[in-house]
Amino acid sequence: MNIYVLVKRTFDTEEKLVISGGAIQEDGAEFIINPYDEYAIEEAIKVRDSASGEVTVITIGNEESEKQLRTALAMGADKAVLINAEEDVEDLDQFSVAKILAEYLKDKEADLIIAGNVAIDGGSGQVGPRLAELLDINYVTTITNLELSGTDVKIVRDVEGDSEEISTSLPLLVTAQQGLNEPRYPSLPGIMKAKKKPLEELELDDLDIDEDDVAPKIKTVEVFLAPEKKAGRILEGDLSDQVKELVSALRSEAKVI
């Protein structure tokens, strides 16, 4: 079984981020595998171990992205592919990324493609569905359980606080939701083995792509921090007094009534 996992290098949002000139400053920032992609990697490894096959992780980035690919290899993936977009990587939007990935994967006979549900830096959740449409294969998003029997697949997915059961078939693209599994940490032997596993690097010129065909459709104008929230206020006294004070505050301060 040919299993591909889409991986993105993202800022570690648990570390301090500095915004200057309408953009996040990369100097001094920490980068990680997008956390939702870790669920995708783990699920791919589990499927491979139960159904045999090979797991290839793929990302579009620059040379700095090799670290995240090596981490995925240390987790247990078999191969990695870096499509090096160099300085253009920050300008790519979801449309561009999906087009590039589709061009790479179009002749790879992928049985299963797994992506993270969203990337924590953008949160659009568009790349997976867009890619599936371009490849003309089935796709299911926000999955929390995956069972394969030959080419038949049973899936449980999140749907607005509830769950939905779906039956479909390979080839298939799914996006991983939190709760699908518990991603493993790279072991020391895994880290040592990862250094010897194949990591293929391609340039955009190596793919049969016209730059105009992958030109981004959207542009990020500015990135800024949300304003700090004011401290809350605790209403005291009798319930009737609290209600009067609340109504007064909503009318005179919040101006919502």
pLDDT digits (tens, 9 = 90+) for 5-25: 999 998 887 777 777 776 777
Contact 39, 176 (CB under 8 A): yes
Contact 127, 99 (CB under 8 A): no
Check residue 119 and give its pLDDT.
92
The Cα–Cα gap between 46 and 72 comes to: 14
CA 93 to chain centre: 13
Q: pLDDT tens per residue, the chain (257 residues)?
A: 999 999 999 888 777 777 777 677 777 778 899 999 999 999 999 999 999 899 999 999 989 999 999 999 999 999 999 999 876 777 789 999 999 999 999 999 999 999 999 998 888 899 999 999 999 999 999 999 999 999 999 999 999 889 999 999 999 999 999 999 999 999 999 999 999 999 999 988 898 887 788 888 888 888 777 788 878 888 888 999 899 999 998 888 878 88
User: Which stretches does DSSP call E strand in the chain?
Assistant: 2-6, 9-11, 19-20, 23-24, 31-33, 54-61, 79-84, 112-116, 138-149, 152-159, 162-169, 172-176, 199-203
Residue 208 neighbours by CB under 8 Å, 6+ apart: 103
- What is the SS3 assignment for 39? helix
Fold of 2-214: Rossmann fold (3.40.50)
Which residue type is seen at 128? G
Condensed to tens digits (0 to 9), the pLDDT of residues 59-88 reads: 999 899 999 999 999 999 999 999 998 767
Of 158, 145, 118, the C-alpha closest to 38 is: 118
HEC-encoded secondary structure of 78-136 = CEEEEEECHHHHHHCCHHHHHHHHHHHHCCCCCCEEEEECCCCCCCCCCHHHHHHHHHC
- Residue spans per domain, the chain: 2-214
CA 191, CA 75: separation in Å to the nearest integer?
Answer: 8
Helix (H) or strand (E) holding 51: helix 35-51
